Amino acid sequence: MQPLTLGVLVFARAAGMTAAAPGFGLSEVPLKVRFALAAILVPVMSPVAQAHVAAGSVALEHLPLFAAKEAAVGLALGFAASLLFHGIGMAGQLVGSQIGFLSAAHGLPAPIGGSRPSLGSGAPIARLYYLLGILTYFMIDGHHSLLAAAARAYARLPVDAMLPRAGAGEPLTGLAADMFVVALQVSAPALAALFFTDIVLAMAGRAIPALSPFTVWLPARCLVGLVAVALSAPLIGAAVVGYAQRLHRALLELASAL
């Protein structure tokens, strides 16, 4: 395959992957940075892609179609890797809404909603959880597993092949289930603390009817919620570390199923 054609196809897959990858898929990351990262990956991934192409080449008139397919493959890999962190952001939304931050309704959007995650708006607890998860992911070199899955995907679905195999998206089902499990695990301690706080405040309100909900209940719930968030913050890193190997295997399974 001609080097220029190969470079375009490799760039398309890398650009799709960086557009949805954890951290780099945020709307705060400039488009130029994502394109620059995709361009850096081209000379790294090109030898791997070249080793699995057929003897022929992609016709010039078919190049846009194959480039769109490559971008879709990259998006699938990046999207799969980001599901865990959408679960962590979902946990922040649950905790933030229970504490009383009304902006929690505008927190990190669900990945199936079609919107790009943003840290510029929404619940501050959701932003905090999401950033802690992303930082932990990079600290344990989790992004290397995404690159390993991208390299394996070239062996299963070369750049000159048009269609993936049937049932290629089955590994996404397990990752989607893990997203909700992680959301519950990370948010459970803070939600439990807030639940018991509500019980104590309700008992105090019955014993002392003069207590005003606005002068006692709301500050007490905010204080307990923030303390619970601070104490349970290590659970975010533990969740990322605990699910890192599982995520790595799921990414490799997705790459192998293509």
Q: Which residues contact 237 (CB under 8 A, 6 or more apart)?
A: 132, 133, 136
DSSP state of 215: I
Q: Which pLDDT score, from 0 to 100, does residue 104 have? A: 40
pTM for this structure? 0.76
Q: Which pLDDT score, from 0 to 100, does residue 207 have? A: 76
pLDDT in tens, 151-170: 888 887 787 777 666 666 67
Q: Which residues contact 135 (CB under 8 A, 6 or more apart)?
A: none
- The type of residue at 137 is Y
142-156 and 31-50 are packed helices; what angle lies between their axes, rounded to 10 degrees? 50
DSSP string, 90-102: HHHHHHHHHHT-G
Closest among 253, 255, 239, 250 to 86, alpha carbons compared:
239
Q: Which residues of the chain register pLDDT less than 50?
A: 103-115, 120-121
Q: Which pLDDT score, from 0 to 100, does residue 11 have? A: 92
Q: Are 126 and 93 contacting, i.e. CB atoms less than 8 angstroms apart? A: yes
Q: Are 11 and 39 contacting, i.e. CB atoms less than 8 angstroms apart? A: yes
- At which residue do the structure tokens 């995907």 appear? 153
Q: Which pLDDT score, from 0 to 100, does residue 27 have? A: 76
What do you get for the CA distance between the two ends of the chain, in Å? Answer: 21
Q: Which pLDDT score, from 0 to 100, does residue 167 have? A: 60
Q: Which pLDDT score, from 0 to 100, does residue 258 have? A: 64
Q: Are 104 and 97 contacting, i.e. CB atoms less than 8 angstroms apart? A: yes
Q: Would you tell me how many other CB atoms lie within 10 Å of the CB of residue 109?
A: 16
- Computed over its alpha carbons, how large is the radius of gyration of the chain? 22
